[in-house]
Amino acid sequence: MNDLTHIPDADAVGVLPASIDSGTMAALHRRLEAAAQAEGLVDVAYTTVDSPVGPLLLAATPRGLVRVAYAIEDHDSVLEDLAVRLSPRVLRAPKRLDAAARELDEYFARTRERFDVELDLSLSRGFRRLVQQHLPEIGYGQTRSYRQMAELVGNPKAVRAVGTACATNPLPVVVPCHRVLRTDGTLGGYIGGLEAKTALLALEAAA
Amino acid sequence: MRQPFEAVVQQHGVTVLRVCRSLLGIHDADDAWSETFLAAMRAYPGLPETANVEAWLVTIARRKSIDVHRAARRAPLPVEELPDAPSALGIPGAGDDDLWASVAALPGRQRQAITYRYLAGMSYAEIATILGGTVEAARRAAADGMKTLRRTYPGVNQEGARP
């Protein structure tokens, strides 16, 4: 049967091929990134970078770095969450993350102890945000207990809430919640898994 | 829940490019593709969550293709349908030049119906909304287009015998 009107649609699609390779799509995507950026349409730009603690998702609003996510958080669900909580205009646009990616590279190469990129803390509210704002006061290579952090933010009884604030830190590595341990010196939890927490502490201790 | 716009680009980028290429030819299609996704990104937060995203994109792509076509021709006259034009297809190695040339040579409504149906995967009801006219007319335009392609596209009846 050569009569195309009688064959199923799925087969008919097969006779209309179009050679569109991934290089073509990549070039179009880069063009879209630039144009959307120029028009101020990219509410959330993101990229992924490799690191010694696995691939990291980096996302930024025009105000600054808004999210760092480990692979075990599932990058797709993290992006869906950003689309809901910030804006659905989420686009892979690595350029905006260049500075953050470079600082992370330097951090993992032990040539950087502090992060200078602008941060957007809009994913956190209230007490959690307060704790996260104070976390960078723990210096490179040092650690604090959850209790000490509670005291530092002027609420010594809020040890549990400090734990929650660390566990929900939207900017791990850059905002150093990995430097907060249990009072007895054991690790406590970590958003990137205990292996990652151990790796970061070892990296800083070796410096 | 609305998915990140990047997922929309990933899922529908190729289809939109096929639509643009079918309506404009390969050289101007990139411009229309870019304008389509830029406009879509602008409007995306206001899109109803129940909307058929692909049909929405194809509608934008059609509009942007007309814009690009007009700009290229410097002919600001509004037209109901894109006029027939020599195909700009013919990139070496593309492999399907003859077919694209055959599609481009179809009369306007048939070409659009074929494009929306077989490249964009739209229903005849959706196509009728874009083309105007009845669902049955849209179905007939696609069928007529297929009949013409069967006659004009040499690859179809020769079962692998193409040079």
CATH at A68? 3.30.160
A147 and A74 in a single domain? The answer is no
Whichever domain contains A196, its CATH number is: 1.10.10.10
B148, amino acid identity: T
A157 and A188 in a single domain? The answer is yes
A101 and A135 in a single domain? The answer is no
Establish if A120 belongs to a structural domain. no
Pairing of strands A180-181, A64-70: unpaired
pTM of the model: 0.76
Place of tokens 């091929």: A17
Nearest to B91 by CA among A19, A16, A28: A19
Contact A177, A135 (CB under 8 A): yes
A184 and A140 in a single domain? The answer is yes
Establish if A50 belongs to a structural domain. yes
pLDDT band at residue B95 under the 50/70/90 scheme: low
pLDDT band at residue B97 under the 50/70/90 scheme: low
CATH number of B91-154: 1.10.10.10
Most confident of A49-58, A191-200, B17-26: A49-58
Above 70 in pLDDT, residue B93?
no
B103 by Cβ neighbours in 10 Å (0-12 / 13-18 / 19+) ranks as buried
Which one of A18, A25, A79 has the shortest CB-CB distance to B4?
A: A79
Contact A132, A167 (CB under 8 A): no
Q: Which domain holds residue A73?
A: 27-108
Asked if the C-beta of A18 comes within 8 angstroms of chain B's C-beta atoms, the answer is yes
Establish if A74 belongs to a structural domain. yes
> Average pLDDT for residues A94-121, to the nearest whole number?
97
Contacts of A182 (CB under 8 A, 6+ apart): A145, A146, A188
Provide, rounded to the nearest whole percent, the portion of chain B with pLDDT above 70.
Answer: 77
Establish if A113 belongs to a structural domain. no
Alpha-carbon distance of B102 to B50, in angstroms, equals: 36
pLDDT band at residue B69 under the 50/70/90 scheme: confident
CA distances from B17 to A33, A189, B9, B57 (A): 17, 47, 11, 11
Q: Hey, which residues does A70 pair with through a beta bridge?
A: A56
* Number of folded domains that form chain A: 2
Establish if A199 belongs to a structural domain. yes
Q: Hey, which residues does A90 pair with through a beta bridge?
A: A44
Tokens representing B41 are 């990104």
Tokens representing B17 are 């490019």
pLDDT band at residue A8 under the 50/70/90 scheme: very low
| Start and end residues for every CATH 1.10.1740.10 domain found in chain B | 1-83
pLDDT in the model for residue A120: 97
**Chain A residues close to B99, C-beta within 8 Å:** 15-17
CA distances from A127 to A117, A159, B93, B130 (A): 23, 12, 61, 53
**A64 three-class SS:** strand
pLDDT in the model for residue A150: 95
pLDDT band at residue B112 under the 50/70/90 scheme: confident
Q: What is the pLDDT of residues A121-149, one digit of tens each?
A: 999 999 999 999 999 999 999 999 999 99
Establish if A11 belongs to a structural domain. no
A145 and A176 in a single domain? The answer is yes
A95 and A133 in a single domain? The answer is no
Distance from the Cα of A31 to chain B's closest Cα (Å) equals 7
pLDDT band at residue B152 under the 50/70/90 scheme: confident
A122 by Cβ neighbours in 10 Å (0-12 / 13-18 / 19+) ranks as middle
| Start and end residues for every CATH 1.10.10.10 domain found in chain B | 91-154
Pairing of strands A90-92, A44-49: parallel
Above 50 in pLDDT, residue B92?
no
Alpha-carbon distance of B73 to B84, in angstroms, equals: 13
Establish if A155 belongs to a structural domain. yes
Above 80 in pLDDT, residue A116?
yes
pLDDT band at residue B119 under the 50/70/90 scheme: confident
CATH number of B1-83: 1.10.1740.10
This complex has an ipTM of 0.86
Residues on chain B bordering chain A, Cβ-to-Cβ distance under 8 angstroms: 1-7, 9, 13-14, 17-18, 21, 30, 33-34, 37-38, 41-42, 44-45, 93-96, 99-100, 103, 114, 117-119, 121, 143, 146-147, 149-150, 155-157
A146 and A190 in a single domain? The answer is yes
